Amino acid sequence: MKKVITYGTFDLLHWGHINILKRAKELGDHLTVALSSDEFNAIKDKKAYHSYENRKMILEAIRYVDEVIPEHEWDQKVKDVVDHNIDIFVMGDDWEGKFDFLKDYCEVVYLPRTVGISTSKIKKDLFKVK
């Protein structure tokens, strides 16, 4: 069985998220999503609308996702890859090169982002003054 992992906050879920999850799952047989905990988001100075538990529940309902684990810190990726027997690490290409250190442990794939959508764009569009 080929195992794939990806990471993210996955707040305000949109078709860009679904696309990356679908493409990640197509690379293997089992997709693990490491979901940023509320505490980790605070460390990153990132705000999520939905709590970790609610984001986890949403991800678990997506057919491409086989398992959701918490991400508590930047440095846990090597441990996650080793502990979960991961074959392929997947991130959006906006992170190109940032996780190449994982190539000692698994294949690293950077997938193109879905054009025209992002959580930042949604937030910006919602708060535009008309």
- The predicted structure's pLDDT at residue 40: 97
| Cα gap 72→69, rounded to integer Å | 10
- The predicted structure's pLDDT at residue 124: 74
| Cα gap 115→112, rounded to integer Å | 9
**Known catalytic residues?**
44, 46
* Residues 35-50 pLDDT 10s: 999 999 999 999 899 9
Type and span of the H or E element at 109: strand 107-111
User: CB-based contacts of 84: which residues, under 8 Å, 6+ apart?
Assistant: 3, 5, 32, 69
pTM for the full model?
0.90
| Cα gap 85→122, rounded to integer Å | 35
* Spans in the chain with pLDDT lower than 70: 116, 123, 129-130
User: CB-based contacts of 52: which residues, under 8 Å, 6+ apart?
Assistant: 35, 36, 37, 38, 70
Q: What does the block give as tokens for 33?
A: 């999503």
- The predicted structure's pLDDT at residue 7: 97
| Cα gap 72→37, rounded to integer Å | 6
